[in-house]
Structure formats: C-alpha cells, structure tokens
Amino acid sequence: MSVIGGISTAIVACVLVVIFVFATIIPASHYNSGMTALGNGDYVKAVTEFAAAGTYKDASDKITVAERDQKIANRESFTMGEWNGKPIEWKVLDVTDGKALIISNDILTIRQYDSLKSQLGKKAYNDSSIENWGE
C-alpha cells in the first residue's frame, strides 16, 4: 500500500507542477515577451503575446495599449477616454521621437482665454487664466 501511496503522491506532485507551469510560468513568459515587443514597437507581436498570456496581470489592458499605439504609429484615428459619457476620438497629427501630437475630432469644452482684462486689453498666455486649466 505504501508503494501505491508513494506513486499517488508523485502523480499529484507532477500534476501540481504542470498546473503551476501552465497557470503561471507560461503566461508570465508571454506577458514579458509582450512587454518587450510593445517597447520595441512590434505591436502585432505584443497583441499576440498578451492574448496568449490570458488573464495574467493586466494583459487585456496591454492589448488595448498595443492596439492604440499601433494606430498612433500608423497615424490613424483612435478612441481614448470619454467626455460627458461619449468616447473621445483622437486624430494623430504628427509622431516625432516616439511622441504623438493629437487633437480630438470634437470640441470637448470652450473656455475663455482670460477672465480678467489687463490694462492694455492684451495678456500673454503665461499670465492668462486658461494656462493652468486642465492641469
């Protein structure tokens, strides 16, 4: 009976190792590979690797980031965030040194340039009340 018990324990241990490998190590490897691909600008590979990572960490959020970054790199419009319950559509105007200049397709709000009038009726941007708005 002790030989059978020893075999059963060994089988259970092997099953636990296999479960650990499939549940943790393999998804972590795909996730790390996805992060590397994302950092290198290989967005297609990043999406594939994050999808293979399944529910590991924030893999599903990283898929969204990779798809958005792919659109930015291709200068395509993309959706990010919302304003008054409506998704904001952004247009990529330029990409330089990995940084994108974007503008929304819709007016998000209207603000007065400056609520206080200066003596000359002109005011520099850095002295205006709108400069600090949005920070």
Average pLDDT (97-101) is: 84
pTM over 0.75: no
Structure tokens at 62: 């990283």
Once rounded to an integer, what is the mean pLDDT over residues 38-51? 93
Q: Give the residue from 49, 71, 70 showing the smallest Cα distance to 60.
A: 49
CB atoms within 10 A of CB 102: 16
Residue 111's pLDDT is: 78
Q: Does 115 have pLDDT greater than 90?
A: no
DSSP codes, the chain = -HHHHHHHHHHHHHHHHHHHIIIIIHHHHHHHHHHHHHHTT-HHHHHHHHHHHTTSTTHHHHHHHHHHHHHHHTT--EEEEEETTEEEEEEEEEEETTEEEEEESS------S-SS--TTS---GGGSTTTTTT-
Amino acid 133: pLDDT = 72
Average pLDDT over residues 21-47: 88
Domain ranges of the chain: 1-73, 74-135
pLDDT greater than 70 at residue 68: yes
Question: How many Cα neighbours within 13 Å face the side chain of 121?
Answer: 0
Instruction: State the pLDDT at residue 26.
Output: 84
| CB 56, CB 27: distance < 8 Å | yes
